[in-house]
Chains A and B, each alone.
Chain A
Amino acid sequence: MNNSSQQQAALRGYPRADGRKGIRNVVVVAYLVECAHHVSRRIVTQADHSEVHLIGFPGCYPNEYASEMMRAICTHPNVGAALLVSLGCESMDRDALLQTVRESGRLAELLVIQETGGTASTIAEGVQRVQQMRTQLDAQQPVPMAIEELVVGTICGGSDGTSGVTANPAVGRCFDALVADGAACMFEETGELIGCENIMADRAATPELGKLIQECVAKAERYYTTMGFGSFAPGNADGGLTTLEEKSMGAYSKSGSSPITGLIKPGDVPPTGGLYLLDVVPDGEPRFGFPNIADNAEIVEMIACGCHLTLFTTGRGSVVGSAISPVIKICANPDTYQRLSGDMDVNAGKILTGEATLDEVGQEIYQCVLDVATGGQSVSEALGHQEFILTYKSFEPIGPGCLPVRQL
């Protein structure tokens, strides 16, 4: 797969003050506590625009991770403006968040429901602010963007026995091509890489990074053991997967065959192109429950790491998309594709029916990435999927050994 050069000029992005570019120009309406969720949702519904998205954090108690995630997401390159909606008494530092978003060169406004006259007047005020933001954003022109400016994540959801045979290795082929082009790619869910720690360590850019990857997977195993369940859903078993490590081996093939450049945590933006492993399992003693309660929590963490879009493989048939960054859906199972073709961008199941090779499907996914990065809507995006989950977590910062590229 090597047709990238003639495509590079085609990408377009909205330039941001930090040097990154966005493939979308979204207004986010962000509730800062669950108590402001309804008001925020009404604002988004009434704005009725495909690039006005609802995000937020439900908790009233403070959490450093959640604050950092909100900061990273509101200043994501795909975001052009943010309307923050606060009830008024929650812990989230709304003023700091507002200031950070404004300092990033973006439009940002804050509405405090308790100071804006309650539900109806805050909705009315919010709709007006969002319309003003949209008018300004719609006047902005995208500029040429190179492939090496692109950050792409991958996730699998609703895996079955076909995922590791078709869609996941096909995404791996696409990742190899993107990394060769100089893009940054990331894969994640170390709890779904239990059993792959040693082969991953062998691919690490340095022996020190390899050791850190092994430790990171050991942490995931300890964490999930405490939770009492591995990252294995009943549908995985219905689809022919028997054990966590079998699911892991299939999931792992999404990473392709490039060397692993670095190990990052939610909110860390890859400093260069290359392949990164995102550690999504909290540090320290398990405190707030399962690392990620559903697939969208992982997608949100990849977005916080700067992902412009996500490649989502599914065997059983997930239908989700995401706020902020488009999700491209790659269906592994030909039978599932027949049932849910209206939710899928790519049918990797045709590898099993002999209609295409892994390389051909990898190329198709690569082309789909370019299409979506040049403004084409992914299927879930066109269907209006804008799921978003953010919950409590705690992380220690990564150490210098996690990003050996920085030490060169």
Chain B
Amino acid sequence: MSSTPSAAPQVVLLHPDDNVLISVTPLARGSVIDFEGREYRLNQDLALGHKLARRDLPAGTKILRYGAPIGSLYSDVKAGEWVHMHNLKSDYLASHTRQGRARGDSGE
């Protein structure tokens, strides 16, 4: 995968208040995303429809998607990092995977 920014859209911002971007195509580790004049270098593969941090976000930050809160970070996240179950938890009911309940259960 090229490390130069691509012209085709790779991520979208769904709402101006959002602090995450959504991938609209699978993105490989090492890719550089150019969005709103800012470059994000991916330190992991990102599948279609996943989230990456729009800026550095400390633990406890409410993640906004569609301009609405979708949970809180339980660890620090750098700009361009993947935001998913390893750092984001529900503020309502904990999610679960086939292996069991997600980390960051609000009851913890």
Interface residues, chain A, with chain B CB atoms under 8 Å away: 160-162, 164-165, 194-196, 199, 221, 224-225, 229-230, 232, 234, 236-237, 239-246, 249-250, 253, 315, 333-335, 352, 354
Q: Which residues of A contact B98 (CB under 8 A)?
A: 234
Q: Are A221 and B68 within 8 A (Cβ)?
A: no
The residues in B between 4 and 34 inclusive whose CB is less than 8 angstroms from any CB of A are: 8-9, 12, 14, 22-26
A242-B65 Cα distance, complex, nearest whole Å: 11
Q: B52-72 interface mask toward A, CB cutoff 8 Å, 1 = contact, 0 = none?
A: 000000000000011011110
Q: Are A162 and B96 within 8 A (Cβ)?
A: no
A161-B102 Cα distance, complex, nearest whole Å: 18
- How near does chain B come to A230, taking the closest CB pair, in angstroms? 4
The residues in B between 85 and 106 inclusive whose CB is less than 8 angstroms from any CB of A are: 85, 88-98, 102
Q: Are B90 and A161 within 8 A (Cβ)?
A: no
Q: Which residues of A contact B84 (CB under 8 A)?
A: 237, 240, 242
Contact of A162 among B48, B65, B95 (CB under 8 A): B48
Q: Which residues of B contact A243 (CB under 8 A)?
A: 70-71, 88-92, 95
* Closest A residue to B102 using CB positions: A237
- How near does chain A come to B59, taking the closest CB pair, in angstroms? 15
* Closest A residue to B69 using CB positions: A245
Q: Are A249 and B95 within 8 A (Cβ)?
A: no
10 A–B pairs (Cβ distance < 8 Å), ordered by A: A165-B24, A221-B92, A230-B95, A237-B85, A237-B102, A239-B47, A240-B49, A242-B88, A243-B92, A249-B68
A249-B22 Cα distance, complex, nearest whole Å: 14
Q: Which residues of B contact A232 (CB under 8 A)?
A: 93, 95-96
Q: Are A242 and B68 within 8 A (Cβ)?
A: no
Q: Which residues of A contact B92 (CB under 8 A)?
A: 194-195, 221, 230, 243-245
- How near does chain A come to B77, taking the closest CB pair, in angstroms? 12
* Closest A residue to B26 using CB positions: A335
| Contact (A246, B71) CB under 8 Å given A315-B49, A333-B49 | yes
Known: A194-B93, A232-B96, A234-B97. 17 other contacts (CB 8 A): A164-B14, A196-B68, A221-B93, A224-B93, A234-B96, A234-B98, A237-B84, A237-B102, A240-B49, A240-B50, A242-B70, A244-B93, A244-B95, A245-B69, A246-B71, A335-B26, A354-B8
